[in-house]
Structure 1
Amino acid sequence: MIRSIFLFLDRTYVLQNSMLPSIWDMGLELFRTHIISDQKVQNKTIDGILLLIERERNGEAIDRSLLRSLLSMLSDLQIYQDSFEHRFLEETNLLYAAEGQRLMQEREVPEYLHHVNKRLEEEADRVITYLDQSTQKPLIATVEKQLLGEHLTTTLQKGLNHLLDENRIQDLSLLYQLFSRVRGGVQVLLQHWIEYIKAFGSTIVINPEKDKTMVQELLDFKDKVDHVIDVCFMKNEKFVNAMKEAFETFINKRPNKPAELIAKYVDSKLRTGNKEATDEELEKMLDKIMIIFRFIYGKDVFEAFYKKDLAKRLLVGKSASVDAEKSMLSKLKHECGAAFTSKLEGMFKDMELSKDIMVHFKQYMQNQNVPGNMELTVNILTMGYWPTYVPMEVHLPPEMVKLQEIFKTFYLGKHSGRKLQWQSTLGQCVLKAEFNEVEEQASTTERVFQDRQYQIDAAIVRIMKMRKTLSHNLLVSEVYNQLKFPVKPADLKKRIESLIDRDYMERDKENPNQYNYVA
Structure 2
Amino acid sequence: MYTPQRSALRNLKMRNKNADLVFPSHKPIPDKSVGASKQSGTNAPVKLVIKPLKVKPMLPVNFEDEMWHKLKSAIIAIHNHRPVKESFEELYKACENLCLHNMAPSLYSKLVNECEKHYIAEKRRLDDNPATQEAFLFEINRCWELHCQQMELIRSIFLYLDRTYVLHTPGIASIWDMGIELFRKHILPPSAVRQKTLWGLLSLIKYERGGDSINRPLVNTLINMFSQLNIYTQGFESQFLSETRDYYEEEGERLVEKLSVSNYIQHVSKRLEQEHQRIMNYLEKKTSTPLFKVVEDELIRKHIDTILAKGFSDLMKGDRNSRKNSKSKLEDLEELYDLLQRVNALDRLRAYFGNYIKNTGASIINDPIVNDPKQDVTVIEQLINFKRRMDEFVEVSFSSSYNFDQALKEGFETFINKRQTKPAELLAKFIDKKLKIGNKQTSDSEVESILNDALVLFRYIQGKDVFEGFYKRDFAKRLLMNKCASDDYERSMLFKMKRECGPGYTSNLEQMFKDIHTSREFMKAFYDSRYGDQLREEFKVDLHVNTLTQGSWPSYNPTPLNIPPEVAQCQQIYETFYREKARGKGLKWYNNLAYCVLSAYYPSGNKEFECTSFQAVTLLTFSELPQTELRTFEEIQQATGMETKELVRTLLTLACAKVKLLVKHPKGKDLKPTDKYSVCDDFKFKLFRIRINSVQMEKTMEENEKTVERVFLERHYQVDACAVRIMKMRKSLSFTELISELLGQLKFKAEVPDLKKRIESLIDREYLERGRDDPTIIRYLA
Bin for the TM-score computed over the shorter chain: 0.7 to 0.9
SS of the aligned residue for 1:377 comes to coil
Distance in structure 2 (CA, Å) of the matches to 1:32 and 1:252:
73
Question: Is 1:218 equivalent to 2:383 in the alignment?
Answer: yes
The residue aligned with 1:368 is 534
The residue aligned with 1:73 is 225
SS of the aligned residue for 1:431 comes to strand
Distance in structure 1 (CA, Å) of the matches to 2:335 and 2:370:
34
The residue aligned with 2:338 is 177
- 1:57-72 equivalences in 2 (<5 Å): 57-72=209-224
Distance in structure 2 (CA, Å) of the matches to 1:275 and 1:78:
79
Distance in structure 2 (CA, Å) of the matches to 1:4 and 1:389:
105
The residue aligned with 1:394 is 561
Q: TM-score, normalised by structure 1?
A: 0.81
Aligned partner of 2:416: which letter? I
Q: Of the two, which has the highest radius of gyration?
A: 2
Range 31-40 or range 257-266, more displaced: 31-40
Contact residue 350 and residue 404 of structure 2 kept, 8 A: yes
Question: Is 1:206 equivalent to 2:354 in the alignment?
Answer: no
SS of the aligned residue for 1:391 comes to coil
Distance in structure 2 (CA, Å) of the matches to 1:282 and 1:214:
18
Higher relative contact order (CA 8 A, sep 6+): 1
- 1:281-300 equivalences in 2 (<5 Å): 281-300=446-465
> What displacement does 1:5 show?
4.5
Cα deviations across residues 184-206 of structure 1 (Å, max 9, x unaligned)?
A: x1111111111111111110112
Distance in structure 2 (CA, Å) of the matches to 1:415 and 1:165:
62
The verdict on how the C-alpha distance between 1:420 and 1:4 changes in structure 2, with shifts beyond 3 A counting, is closer
Contact residue 307 and residue 344 of structure 1 kept, 8 A: yes
1:251 aligned residue (406, 412, 416): 416
The verdict on how the C-alpha distance between 1:351 and 1:70 changes in structure 2, with shifts beyond 3 A counting, is same
> What displacement does 1:127 show?
1.0
Range 148-157 or range 404-413, more displaced: 404-413
> What displacement does 1:3 show?
2.7
- 1:240-319 equivalences in 2 (<5 Å): 240-272=405-437, 275-319=440-484
Distance in structure 1 (CA, Å) of the matches to 2:432 and 2:156:
98
The residue aligned with 2:143 is none
Question: Is 1:379 equivalent to 2:540 in the alignment?
Answer: no
| Structure 2 unaligned blocks of 5 or more | 1-148, 319-325, 607-782
Distance in structure 2 (CA, Å) of the matches to 1:292 and 1:34:
76
The residue aligned with 2:505 is 340
SS of the aligned residue for 1:421 comes to coil
Aligned partner of 1:47: which letter? W
Question: Is 1:403 equivalent to 2:570 in the alignment?
Answer: yes
Contact residue 155 and residue 176 of structure 2 kept, 8 A: no
Distance in structure 1 (CA, Å) of the matches to 2:464 and 2:489:
20
The residue aligned with 2:357 is 197
SS of the aligned residue for 2:389 comes to helix
Aligned partner of 2:516: which letter? M
Cα deviations across residues 51-105 of structure 1 (Å, max 9, x unaligned)?
A: 1111111111111111111111111111111111111000001111111011001
Aligned partner of 1:368: which letter? Q
Contact residue 268 and residue 274 of structure 1 kept, 8 A: no
Aligned partner of 1:141: which letter? K
Contact residue 354 and residue 379 of structure 1 kept, 8 A: yes
Contact residue 267 and residue 309 of structure 1 kept, 8 A: yes
The residue aligned with 1:502 is none
**How many residues in Structure 1 have an aligned counterpart in Structure 2?**
439
The verdict on how the C-alpha distance between 1:315 and 1:8 changes in structure 2, with shifts beyond 3 A counting, is closer
Distance in structure 2 (CA, Å) of the matches to 1:147 and 1:141:
10
Distance in structure 2 (CA, Å) of the matches to 1:8 and 1:280:
81
Contact residue 206 and residue 253 of structure 1 kept, 8 A: no
Q: TM-score, normalised by structure 2?
A: 0.54
Cα deviations across residues 106-155 of structure 1 (Å, max 9, x unaligned)?
A: 00001001110111111111111111112111011100111001111111
Distance in structure 1 (CA, Å) of the matches to 2:388 and 2:356:
15
- 1:444-455 equivalences in 2 (<5 Å): none
> What displacement does 1:160 show?
0.8
Cα deviations across residues 255-307 of structure 1 (Å, max 9, x unaligned)?
A: 11000111111100011576222222111211111110111122111111111
The residue aligned with 1:238 is 403
Cα deviations across residues 314-333 of structure 1 (Å, max 9, x unaligned)?
A: 01100001011011111111
The residue aligned with 2:198 is 46
Aligned partner of 2:341: which letter? S
The residue aligned with 1:105 is 257
Contact residue 10 and residue 22 of structure 1 kept, 8 A: no
Distance in structure 2 (CA, Å) of the matches to 1:307 and 1:26:
93
Contact residue 46 and residue 84 of structure 1 kept, 8 A: yes
| Structure 1 unaligned blocks of 5 or more | 440-519
Contact residue 384 and residue 454 of structure 2 kept, 8 A: yes
1:356 aligned residue (521, 526, 538): 521
Identity rate, percent: 42
Cα deviations across residues 199-247 of structure 1 (Å, max 9, x unaligned)?
A: 1111011234245121111111110000001111000000001110111
Distance in structure 1 (CA, Å) of the matches to 2:156 and 2:573:
129
Distance in structure 2 (CA, Å) of the matches to 1:258 and 1:79:
69
Contact residue 204 and residue 218 of structure 1 kept, 8 A: yes
SS of the aligned residue for 1:429 comes to strand
> What displacement does 1:9 show?
2.9
Question: Is 1:143 equivalent to 2:295 in the alignment?
Answer: yes
Question: Is 1:425 equivalent to 2:425 in the alignment?
Answer: no
> What displacement does 1:14 show?
3.0
Aligned partner of 2:306: which letter? T
Question: Is 1:14 equivalent to 2:175 in the alignment?
Answer: no
Cα deviations across residues 416-436 of structure 1 (Å, max 9, x unaligned)?
A: 332211111111110245778
Distance in structure 2 (CA, Å) of the matches to 1:310 and 1:438:
36
Contact residue 127 and residue 136 of structure 1 kept, 8 A: yes
